[in-house]
Structure 1
Amino acid sequence: MDLKRLNRALSVEAESGFGDLQGREQTFSQFFCGVFGQDPPADWLLDGDDRRKWQELGSRYTLYPELDLPERQHLVAETRRWLDQIRRQQEPPPPARPAPLPKPNGLSLEQPLQFLKGIGPKSAEKLAQLGLLTVRDALYYFPRDHVNYSEQVLIRQAKVGETVTLVGTIKSCTCFTSPKNKALTIFNLKMADSSGTMTLSRFYNGRQFTQRGWQESIQRQYPKGARVAASGLVKRSKFGLTLDNPQIEVLSPDLPEESPVHGRGGDPVLRSLKIGKILPIYPLTEGITADLVRKAVQLALPAVALIGDPLPQDIKRTLQLLDLPVALQQIHFPDTAEHLAQARRRLVFDEFFYLQLGLLQRRQRYREQAQAVPRYQPIQGELVDRFYQLLPFQLTAAQQRVISEILADLRDPLPMNRLVQGDVGSGKTVVAVVALLAAIQSGWQTALMAPTEVLAEQHYRKLVDWFSQLHLPVELLTGSTPAAKRRQILRQLQTGELPLVVGTHALIQPAVQFRNLGLVIIDEQHRFGVEQRAALQQKGDHPDVLTMTATPIPRTLTLALHGDLDVSQIDELPPGRKPVHTVVVRPGDRLQVVRLMEREIAQGRQVYVVLPLIEESEKLDLKSAIEEHQRLQEKVFPQFKVGLLHGRMSSNDKDAVIQAFRQRELDILVSTTVVEVGVDVPNASVMVIEHAERFGLSQLHQLRGRVGRGSEQSYCLLMTGSKGEDALRRLKVLEQSHDGFFIAEMDLRFRGPGEVMGTRQSGLPDFALASLMDDQEVLELARQAAEQLIAADPHLTQYPELQAVLKTKVSYTNRLH
């Protein structure tokens, strides 16, 4: 029963003059007769007096229509007072302020842990394995989780799955060797409170615990009649409810009977760091116990008073953030769950804030170093207009918006640094061409760099089609370019007569020199290393930079990775494209897949089959592309031509296979994820992905984008033998959506940022507490605060402490950019 609903009904009756208000289905009195005619809710935990009051009110409301006005007023007021009393009994006490900071007691932040009382050299050597050498290290070694033992309940209130603390009296305690296992010792403690009894058990495995003297010493620690506190997860056993692996402590006799075991600021008569408290769970390694880490942190905790807080007061006040020393204290041993949440919010804010501050300062420095010369003023000329006339289609509203943003950047005297995200088939190439032509018609040279020869060649072929009609030369420079042709291209770049060169990493070789490079476009930029991207930019004097990706990135990841870039999204597909029909397929349906492939090939179309590995892996038990190619060619489709493409082939061999597939010399192409980006064959209508559960959602979406590029209906078949619910739920996302940005968000939620971006060169910072999935609101607040601070004081001259913190932190932006 909802107390708020009952109080709202009473308030409406009072405001309407106590006239037994008529509702849609019943009157006020009929509603309350129905309420009190049922048993009271079990979770209200009414005692005998309150249950009698419940029944009395039910009887009185049956007479409500016959009562005069004063009697009705009295009954409604009495009911409201009683319900308010029930509400107060149910509500937890108001949150206390965080406990005052302890005094440092002679500690220093750089003091080695081995000199803390109770640690010593041996324990310090173990802690060093976790990187904990000093007091400061311990304070910043954040828990990975917490167990909340602070919820004190009566035994009858304990519910399965909840973590609670019980306080009661010991009724009996036994400790004995199991009759079925002579190496197992069983400890049973029966405790009782005013609401019931519960038996708690512990199990000790080992011969040393079977000694009768040891067992009797344990029993003596828990004498009958002593008060005891126990904390743990409530579970059901064959003997009823109990606590799983309980923490148990006998309470001091001077603890008042009605006192909670963990009151405000902690209770001095309870010595445990566990019972009745919110317990920190730290990352551990073999041979290091949780208790040792907790002890070290507890001993180091008074030193939080020595830590300064560089965050400006106005930011803390506006966003209601705890002071840093208090947050550090509460993240380790919080007084309440609310204080833990407040501490985490402050520390997560700091992680995001310093990240954003560093990114924005980097952008500021880059702009200051660039020559503020209006190179593109104004962007006029025939090239862009003539290009629009060549297009056989209308640009989407999203394309027009992004082009406007790019042209505005080009007019700005400061160099452009923009990222364009666009889903598969959204038309990023057309947007890039407009940018290239705008630069060229202003007298500048341009370069487009792609991560693979396949993708570079694809861009080159498209650009040749358009540029030839505009009477503009364009050349392709890759590792496969013949020496004579290469010398010709290098000469034309040096003289300035070649306005556009498309290429791979070959563009960043020292021999490649431009006369006046004004615009650099980097496609699939995340596939290049930091130095490679920087090397191309250094071919000109602070050229405008446009980076593109066909892998949509959720906003939180974009802020974390590219917070120093301006970001545009082409979030609209051209009209008329048929969605790829996507189905999750089980092993038993493989025959139907073969029939679909045969049907499509018979109609003149082609098929991709994609596998995750090149060679057989015993560990993962996956099919290899090589073996699958052989199986399909010899046993399944001997009547068709089956090709093979994988990453270990030479560039020439890859090009030959792709060219054969493009020219329909092959019916089926068996491949690894080499085809993820860059292979554009409009005639292909089927994409079969084996072991689809091994891929991320965004990668599957990219693979799916290789089909559906023509006018015919296309199909993507996600083959999986996995029985895991999570794997199937992930794959079902692709059945339901073709929105790359939505899929990227779901991928982030399912797998986390590290797996989504890849571990090798993701550039993601190492967050101790922050989660890009769960802390999006805090990230946005941190970004806004950093932007306001940089706008008001670009060099942070008024905030030397902030500058100092930024310098001491390892800036991931140096690795990323």
Structure 2
Amino acid sequence: MFLEIPIENIRSIGLGTRKKLEKLRIKTVRDLLFHFPHRYEDFSAICQIADIAIGASVTVQGKILDIKNIRTWKKRMYVTEAIVEDNSGVIKAVWFNQPYLAKNIRRDTLVNLSGKVVLAQNDACFSNPAYEIIYQNTFAKEPLHTGRLVPVYPETFGLSSRFLRFIIKPLLKFTDKVPDILPEAMKKEYRLPAIKWALDQIHFPENIENAELAKKRFAFDELFVLQLFMARKRLMITRQKAPKINFYQNLAKEFVDSLPYKLTEDQRKSAWQIIRDMERPEPMNRLLEGDVGSGKTIVATLAAFMAAKNQAQIAFMAPTEILSRQHYEKIWPMLDNFGVKVALLTSSEAGLSGKPLTKAALCKKIKSSEAPIVIGTHALIQKNVEFKNLALVVIDEQHRFGVDQRAALQNNESRIKNYEKGKKPIIHDSKFMIPHLLSMSATPIPRTLGLTIWGDLDLSRLTQMPRGRKPIITKIVPRAAREETHEFIRKEIKNGRQAFVICPLINESDVLEVKSAKQEYEKLYKIFPEFKIGLLHGKLKPKEKEAVMAAFVGRKLQILVATSVIEVGIDVPNATAIVIEGADRFGLASLHQFRGRVGRGEHQSYCFLFTDSSSANTAKRLKAVSTAQNGFELAEKDLEIRGPGDFIGVRQSGLPDLAIASLSDLELIEQTRESAKKLLIKDVNLKDYPLLVQKLVEFKKRVHFE
């Protein structure tokens, strides 16, 4: 097949060039054709030399009167100078460190020169212009590098856009061999061009409008396939079976009335969405989003309580032992009054409703269903942990928990693996059910990403904070104001409060990050000699980490210095100040997570963003953090500032750059989402669309979101 021809079969691509192209993930003709320009140089304005304006980007056509190389000993480089003439005047062109040009472009040669015109020694001059030799005695060729909108491609060392234009242009003669995956009716509805035209115009557009329309076509293709993939994934989940959880209104009311506070409207709405999902015979796949402290855990606890009262079991997984114990210590006393036992199982401890147990004893109780709710880390997925009738999995801080992982909790790994490997799909009966899944996250997802990357999940949002919770005051602190901030923290601690200090993010190595944390600890020890300071970093053993956290929670430490490993969700109501050193090095979502370590009690809390950066972009980003009222607002600002590519799971997903860039285009997202829905309603198995089926197979191999 033409598109699968290896690049080494293309004339003018040798071994060296092939290796360079492979760095750009180009191995076949298809890869070359779909290696799109990321911008265009506008050299379409062709003018006479006499009409050139300084600072303009233009193209002139003229004859080479003279060309020579000059060696500048001072800077140790070659300068190539050419004098070009048309019927209106002459102009000089200068190239740096390209002495071979004097051989390539001879006197009396007719050339196009395209580039920016600068002023040099009071004369107009082209500096490093693109050039193209015009052959008058041969069939007129369309210019590639000058006199038009010129494509500029993603490049690698030793592989220029000029060369890419040279090898891509001849391939465009064969674009009629590229299959068009979109149905004709869909192209007509959204006014999308044919694939052949789009390929021609994205590489060598006649005008910028054509280039944009071609980009839209390919962005639509990629997003449509993504939406189709997610819609089918959702459909596959609905075809599986899950235990039905009945809703007992009186019990739910008793539980809510027993709480020492009133639920927010968002909590009530989200709890109802979850309860309705669990009443259905197919598995729930819901993500509960909410700011730190918005009350996600209590919503999940209500769902777990309802499942337990249906004689079912619940696995409640947290990312760390500290968080697991924190959930356990909050939940078991709450449910003990209702006769529901709650267990804790991590790699280092086990317990049931406040009483310590051996792991073996607890595993027996889980197997016999005497422990209906089990809270723990990934220790819950171990083979020696068997649930009798698992109905609900709650995951804290993980957007996705695959069907195979859910099955692992049900001890049915082999059957799921059989399904995953593409063998004949299993039709699940009542003996093999997939538990409902509720994921929780304090990292809000922008709306457009929620409709695409996380399109296989139903979303519930907690945008309101519990009553009485005071907004955290956030301040950007330049170096000159640090002493004042330290004095403020001293007063807070003397008033009985505590403080976090987050060290700068260091990407190079864990060793450097630990060194940074130790240096920060020593510096603060000198600034606050009267206070007890703790240190938390990634190289500490789990028991050492827990001992430090326990000392801080128990108020034996006044200041906790930590690297970015500080656990999401750690609850220290007495901590009212957090200092984030090198705030400009962290993403907005991380800064918001850190800020959520404080503001969990009755006292006013403060977040101080320390930065030495004076860049406008840093100021814009940190201002977004200081002014955003909640994580959802901040997530949208982050998307606006950084673009979709830097969001967790997006850049690593394998999606093409053009699709990633379109993840903030709400109109295009809604169009592709609606199109995918319509097509699946019409033809759920896509029997009439074999090209789309093939595309989905390729998409699954290339793209991953787990």
Is this a same-fold pair by TM over 0.5?
yes
Question: For 1:409 and 1:662, how far apart are their aligned partners in 2?
Answer: 37
Q: What TM-score do you get using the length of structure 2 for normalisation?
A: 0.88
Question: For 2:567 and 2:122, how far apart are their aligned partners in 1?
Answer: 57
Q: Are residues 746 and 381 of structure 1, via their aligned partners in 2, closer, same or farther at CA, if it must alter by over 3 Å?
A: closer
1:148 corresponds in structure 2 to: 42
2:239 corresponds in structure 1 to: 368
| Alignment counterpart, residue 736 of structure 1, candidates 601, 609, 627 | 627
1:632 corresponds in structure 2 to: 524
| 2:120 counterpart of 1:233 | no
C-alpha displacement of 1:497: 2.2
Q: Are residues 323 and 367 of structure 1, via their aligned partners in 2, closer, same or farther at CA, if it must alter by over 3 Å?
A: same
1:245 corresponds in structure 2 to: 128
Task: Summarize deviations over 1:357-389 as a string: whole Å, max 9, x none.
Answer: 112112212221326x6x234x12543111111
| 2:611 counterpart of 1:720 | yes
Aligned AA for 2:245? Y
For structure 1, which segment, 311-320 or 433-442, has the greater mean C-alpha deviation from structure 2 after superposition? 433-442
| 2:318 counterpart of 1:450 | yes
Q: Any conservation in 2 of the 1:358–1:811 contact (CA below 8 Å)? A: no
| Alignment counterpart, residue 475 of structure 2, candidates 579, 583, 601 | 583
1:604 corresponds in structure 2 to: 496
Question: For 1:248 and 1:421, how far apart are their aligned partners in 2?
Answer: 55
Q: Are residues 623 and 751 of structure 1, via their aligned partners in 2, closer, same or farther at CA, if it must alter by over 3 Å?
A: farther
Question: For 2:547 and 2:333, how far apart are their aligned partners in 1?
Answer: 21
| 2:681 counterpart of 1:791 | yes
| 2:316 counterpart of 1:316 | no
Q: Are residues 191 and 529 of structure 1, via their aligned partners in 2, closer, same or farther at CA, if it must alter by over 3 Å?
A: farther
Q: Any conservation in 2 of the 1:386–1:470 contact (CA below 8 Å)? A: no
Q: Are residues 220 and 330 of structure 1, via their aligned partners in 2, closer, same or farther at CA, if it must alter by over 3 Å?
A: same
Please give the residue correspondences for 1:127-526 in structure 2 after superposition, counting only pairs within 5 Å.
127=21, 130-152=24-46, 163-166=57-60, 175=68, 177=70, 184-189=78-83, 199-205=91-97, 218=105, 220-222=107-109, 229-235=112-118, 237=120, 239=122, 242-249=125-132, 269-270=140-141, 272-370=143-241, 375-377=244-246, 379-481=247-349, 484-526=357-399
Q: What SS does structure 1 have at the residue aligned with 2:315?
A: strand
Question: For 2:54 and 2:567, how far apart are their aligned partners in 1?
Answer: 48
| Alignment counterpart, residue 2 of structure 2, candidates 89, 100, 108 | 108
Superposed CA RMSD in Å reads 3.3
For the pair shown, the structure with the greater C-alpha radius of gyration is 1
C-alpha displacement of 1:405: 1.4
Question: For 1:514 and 1:630, how far apart are their aligned partners in 2?
Answer: 48
Aligned sequence identity (%): 39
Question: For 2:79 and 2:506, how far apart are their aligned partners in 1?
Answer: 53
Q: What SS does structure 1 have at the residue aligned with 2:499?
A: strand
Question: For 2:165 and 2:64, how far apart are their aligned partners in 1?
Answer: 32
Q: Are residues 792 and 121 of structure 1, via their aligned partners in 2, closer, same or farther at CA, if it must alter by over 3 Å?
A: same
Aligned AA for 1:220? R
Q: Structure 2 stretches of 5 or more lacking a match?
A: 351-355, 413-431
| 2:441 counterpart of 1:549 | yes
Question: For 1:206 and 1:310, how far apart are their aligned partners in 2?
Answer: 45
Q: What TM-score do you get using the length of structure 1 for normalisation?
A: 0.76
Q: What SS does structure 1 have at the residue aligned with 2:328?
A: helix
Q: Structure 1 stretches of 5 or more lacking a match?
A: 1-106, 255-266
C-alpha displacement of 1:188: 4.2
C-alpha displacement of 1:321: 1.0
Question: For 2:406 and 2:168, how far apart are their aligned partners in 1?
Answer: 44
Aligned AA for 2:70? T
Q: How many residues align?
A: 680
Q: Any conservation in 2 of the 1:615–1:624 contact (CA below 8 Å)? A: no
Q: What SS does structure 2 have at the residue aligned with 1:707?
A: coil
Q: Are residues 348 and 235 of structure 1, via their aligned partners in 2, closer, same or farther at CA, if it must alter by over 3 Å?
A: farther
| 2:597 counterpart of 1:706 | yes
C-alpha displacement of 1:175: 4.0
C-alpha displacement of 1:639: 0.9
Aligned AA for 2:273? E
Q: Are residues 772 and 383 of structure 1, via their aligned partners in 2, closer, same or farther at CA, if it must alter by over 3 Å?
A: farther
Q: What SS does structure 2 have at the residue aligned with 1:369?
A: coil
Aligned AA for 1:725? A
Q: Are residues 252 and 424 of structure 1, via their aligned partners in 2, closer, same or farther at CA, if it must alter by over 3 Å?
A: same
Please give the residue correspondences for 1:10-25 in structure 2 after superposition, counting only pairs within 5 Å.
none
Task: Summarize deviations over 1:132-184 as a string: whole Å, max 9, x none.
Answer: 444333222222332222244566886776643345x6696564636776853
Q: What SS does structure 2 have at the residue aligned with 1:688?
A: strand
Task: Summarize deviations over 1:450-475 as a string: whole Å, max 9, x none.
Answer: 11111111111211231123232111
1:765 corresponds in structure 2 to: 654
Q: Are residues 791 and 580 of structure 1, via their aligned partners in 2, closer, same or farther at CA, if it must alter by over 3 Å?
A: same
Aligned AA for 1:767? P
Question: For 1:116 and 1:687, how far apart are their aligned partners in 2?
Answer: 60
Q: What SS does structure 2 have at the residue aligned with 1:511?
A: coil
| 2:539 counterpart of 1:648 | yes
| 2:492 counterpart of 1:565 | no
Task: Summarize deviations over 1:427-455 as a string: whole Å, max 9, x none.
Answer: 11121122112222222111210111111
Question: For 1:515 and 1:505, how far apart are their aligned partners in 2?
Answer: 18
Question: For 2:378 and 2:510, how far apart are their aligned partners in 1?
Answer: 35
C-alpha displacement of 1:574: 2.5
Q: What SS does structure 2 have at the residue aligned with 1:674?
A: coil
Q: Are residues 112 and 454 of structure 1, via their aligned partners in 2, closer, same or farther at CA, if it must alter by over 3 Å?
A: closer
Question: For 2:52 and 2:276, how far apart are their aligned partners in 1?
Answer: 64
Q: Any conservation in 2 of the 1:451–1:527 contact (CA below 8 Å)? A: no
Q: What SS does structure 2 have at the residue aligned with 1:675?
A: coil
Q: Are residues 679 and 738 of structure 1, via their aligned partners in 2, closer, same or farther at CA, if it must alter by over 3 Å?
A: same
1:24 corresponds in structure 2 to: none
For structure 1, which segment, 714-723 or 323-332, has the greater mean C-alpha deviation from structure 2 after superposition? 323-332
Q: Are residues 613 and 241 of structure 1, via their aligned partners in 2, closer, same or farther at CA, if it must alter by over 3 Å?
A: same
Q: What SS does structure 2 have at the residue aligned with 1:693?
A: helix
Aligned AA for 2:306? A
For structure 1, which segment, 125-134 or 389-398, has the greater mean C-alpha deviation from structure 2 after superposition? 125-134
Task: Summarize deviations over 1:655-680 as a string: whole Å, max 9, x none.
Answer: 22112111211111111123241211
Question: For 2:675 and 2:13, how far apart are their aligned partners in 1?
Answer: 41
Aligned AA for 1:202? V
Question: For 1:334 and 1:662, how far apart are their aligned partners in 2?
Answer: 63
Q: Are residues 485 and 125 of structure 1, via their aligned partners in 2, closer, same or farther at CA, if it must alter by over 3 Å?
A: closer
For structure 1, which segment, 512-521 or 232-241, has the greater mean C-alpha deviation from structure 2 after superposition? 232-241
Question: For 2:295 and 2:324, how far apart are their aligned partners in 1?
Answer: 16
For structure 1, which segment, 108-117 or 452-461, has the greater mean C-alpha deviation from structure 2 after superposition? 108-117
Question: For 1:587 and 1:291, how far apart are their aligned partners in 2?
Answer: 47
C-alpha displacement of 1:654: 1.7
For structure 1, which segment, 490-499 or 278-287, has the greater mean C-alpha deviation from structure 2 after superposition? 278-287
Aligned AA for 2:302? V
Question: For 2:188 and 2:434, how far apart are their aligned partners in 1?
Answer: 40
Aligned AA for 1:565? L
Task: Summarize deviations over 1:580-601 as a string: whole Å, max 9, x none.
Answer: 1111111222211210111000
Question: For 2:406 and 2:123, how far apart are their aligned partners in 1?
Answer: 65
| Alignment counterpart, residue 466 of structure 2, candidates 550, 553, 574 | 574
Question: For 1:655 and 1:115, how far apart are their aligned partners in 2?
Answer: 60
C-alpha displacement of 1:689: 0.7
Q: Are residues 531 and 143 of structure 1, via their aligned partners in 2, closer, same or farther at CA, if it must alter by over 3 Å?
A: farther
Q: What SS does structure 1 have at the residue aligned with 2:2?
A: coil
Q: Any conservation in 1 of the 2:582–2:610 contact (CA below 8 Å)? A: yes
Question: For 1:193 and 1:777, how far apart are their aligned partners in 2?
Answer: 51
Task: Summarize deviations over 1:587-626 as a string: whole Å, max 9, x none.
Answer: 2222112101110001000010111458997998996112
| 2:568 counterpart of 1:677 | yes
1:97 corresponds in structure 2 to: none
Q: Any conservation in 1 of the 2:96–2:128 contact (CA below 8 Å)? A: no
